[in-house]
Amino acid sequence: MTRPPTFQRILLIRRKALGDALVTMRAVLEVVRAWPDATVDLVIDRSFAPLVEGLAGRSAEAGRLRILSWPPAAGKSWLGVLRGGRYDLVIDWLGSPRTAIWTILTGAAVRVGYDLPRRRWAYNVKVPRNLLGERKLRGFAGEAFLDPLRSLGLNPGPWRDGFATANSDEETLAAFSDKFRNWWSHWFGANRPVVVMMMSATWSAKAWPAKHTAELFLALRERGYHPVMVTGPGDEKLETRLRELLPAEAFAPPTTLLELAHLIGQAQVFVGTDCGPRHLAASLAVPTVTLFGPTDPVGWNPGAPWHVSVRTGVDCSPCDLTDCPIPGHPCMVDLEPGVVLQAVDRLLDRGPH
């Protein structure tokens, strides 16, 4: 296509992981910008909807984006939502068998999706997947999420971070829990660079040893930084072990996603595993240091120099396996805290480049 066609009702599908949803948001906003007169609906998981809706300041057109939460509210027909939208364009960024069926059920005239076995039948605009071989990604996923737009004749330019801003006005703070606000009033304000640490691992293969995490936290504090340890759902075992190794004041209280966005937005650097909150930091233009093991930094680390990846470089990494089959889990266990500390120092111009 040489010129982008005209659409009036657009459905964008981006389900599953928080990180994937956030990395796709640049492409989502490009769609809203490209068709300013269209109604644009975005399907994301219900648990992420408040975060996406609450990240203000992304651009003027962000306010025109409507969120459709999955699963639907009790008693609401999802088929009715899909058919009742009368969409003329659907872009399916997930490309699962289920979302392929959703795409075809809309009856949209233009259906964009990835050229994958058992899915391609649902799309009449098929986009090559961002793969080099069976597992390895050939480029950053955020940039690849713009490919469906290019297939429609758009020229969105390169992917950029920093498309979101966490509100910090009085109304937003008032909506936070008393526990978080009380903690924040005492913790924030130190005249030292804030480092938010989050070592969540939905895959066991992404996990960094608690001993390393505690050692890094203490080294950051000794170096003159103001670190804070954040844990989330699924981190219970890690938190229990960390609380044996670190003082109680090292930890932020339990946070909602909007509270977490507020906290990360005030940081000078985010340090963590390849997890959703790390992508939240990039969305907020916060520099990141990410520990990579089973996943590929080529595919999942933004190309800007303020997003630094650290890894051991062992031959088996990246493998994209959720559980490590190698004794000793060398890609993460052998990643020393000192290496991560050096990356933080370099990123904040406090050490040799």
343-348 own/partner pairs: CB under 8 Å, 24+ apart: 343/289, 343/308, 343/310, 344/195, 344/220, 344/225, 344/269, 344/271, 344/289, 345/223, 346/308, 347/269, 347/287, 347/289, 347/306, 347/308, 348/193, 348/268, 348/269, 348/287
The reply to whether omega before 318 is within 30° of 0 (cis) is yes
pLDDT tens for 126-179 read 999 887 666 677 789 999 999 999 999 999 989 999 988 877 777 778 889 999
* pLDDT for 252: 97
As a whole number of angstroms, the distance between CA 223 and CA 325 comes to 36
Asked if residue 286 lies in contact with residue 278, where contact means CB atoms within 8 angstroms, the answer is: no
3-state SS, residue 112 = strand
* pLDDT for 59: 52
pLDDT at 350 over 70: no
* pLDDT for 93: 97
* pLDDT for 352: 44
For domain 169-347, the CATH class is: alpha beta
Asked if residue 150 lies in contact with residue 156, where contact means CB atoms within 8 angstroms, the answer is: yes
* pLDDT for 174: 84
What mean pLDDT comes out for the span 277-281? 96
CATH fold of 9-150, please? Rossmann fold (3.40.50)
* pLDDT for 135: 65
Torsion over CA: 217, 189, 260, 348 (sign): negative
Which amino acid belongs to residue 27?
A: A
Q: Whole-structure pTM over 0.95, yes or no?
A: no
* pLDDT for 56: 57
* pLDDT for 353: 38
pLDDT tens for 281-335 read 999 999 999 999 999 999 999 989 999 999 999 999 999 999 999 999 999 999 9
pLDDT at 3 over 80: no
CA 310 to mean position of chain CA atoms: 18
Confidence of residue 206 (pLDDT cuts 50, 70, 90): very high
Which part of the chain has CATH 3.40.50.2000?
Answer: 9-150, 169-347
